[in-house]
Amino acid sequence: MMWVVKNYGMMPESAYNGRGRGELYHNHWQLDSLAESFVNKLLNEGKEKPGDADLVYINEQFDQYLGEVPATFMYNNNEYTAKSFAKEALGFDPADYVEITSYTHHPFYKPFVLENKYNWTNDKYYNVTINDLSRITDSALKNGYTVGWDGNAEDSHFDYSNGLAWVPEVISNFQEERQRTFEDQHTFLNHMMHIVGSTNDRFGKKWYYVKNSWGPSNSLAGFLFMRDDYFKIRTVAIIVNKNAIPADIRKKLVL
């Protein structure tokens, strides 16, 4: 996402809502199927990248499903491009953000390219212990930052209807368990959400308050509570402002 912001910018939903056919909610399954079929067609033709005619077709399809992207737009009586909006209206610098994960098949406190099909830009993720991943998240929330969450939302205990995500088993070693589930593909990146707060229940268990993108149809109007154990096992990575990371961890990461 930050690569896209750096290279293309951002714009408000009022300028571009991404629902080119007038839908009420985002649903990309048809576009996803079309794009996958077209990419496979190019591969079968032996192409390593799309030609000019292919790009014309691709852009036509995306314009149909998502809407044509405006070159400029008005916001608060000012005219912007996507790049100038990100920089001038929002003061948003993608260089302020880092992606952080926690796996033992790479050295801790060193960056590595995360092995995930959605990491198509070959981004390097900083690797920390699971305890430090939790510390970074808690520190960010305590100091007024929010946290982007990348992880697995297809677990049977990800109960979006009732606004809950938890792990029923007692886990003695979260670092070992999250590594095992990553390697056997029980934990993989298939969704992104937005952690905006946390709380403790009456038993002292920590729960994160998370905004989803599936519409306001569940019991918490689009939000859910994710228990700390689910976070430690099913989180593949987080994205966070560098200034939200505790000083001792930043020092180890040389940030």
Residue type, 229: D
121, 3 Cβ separation under 8 angstroms: yes
pLDDT of residue 120: 86
Taking the C-alpha atoms of residue 240 and residue 255, their distance in angstroms, rounded to an integer, is 13
One DSSP character per residue, 109-151 reads: TSEEE---TT-TT-PEEEE--HHHHHHHHHHHHHTT--EEEEE
Token couple for 34: 């079309």
Q: Which CATH number does 94-253 carry?
A: 3.90.70.10
pLDDT of residue 162: 95
The predicted model scores a pTM of 0.89
Quick: pLDDT tens for 96-145.
999 999 999 999 999 999 998 888 889 999 999 999 999 999 999 999 99
pLDDT of residue 24: 86
pLDDT over 70, % of the chain: 100
| CB-based contacts of 197, cutoff 8 Å, min separation 6 | 141, 208, 209
With CA atoms as reference, report the closest residue to 2 among 254, 241, 251.
241
DSSP state of 231: H
Domain limits of the chain? 2-89, 94-253
Residue type, 1: M
Token couple for 161: 């209807």
With CA atoms as reference, report the closest residue to 3 among 136, 117, 122, 85.
122
Residue 188 predicted with pLDDT over 90: no
Report the C-alpha dihedral over residues 147, 152, 157, 160, rounded to 10 degrees. 60
Report the C-alpha dihedral over residues 46, 48, 53, 56, rounded to 10 degrees. 130
pLDDT of residue 33: 95
Intra-chain end-to-end CA distance of the chain, in Å: 20
DSSP state of 103: -
Quick: pLDDT tens for 7-63.
999 999 999 999 999 998 888 899 999 999 999 999 999 999 999 999 999 999 999
Residue 84 predicted with pLDDT over 90: yes
197, 209 Cβ separation under 8 angstroms: yes
Residue type, 85: F
134, 246 Cβ separation under 8 angstroms: no
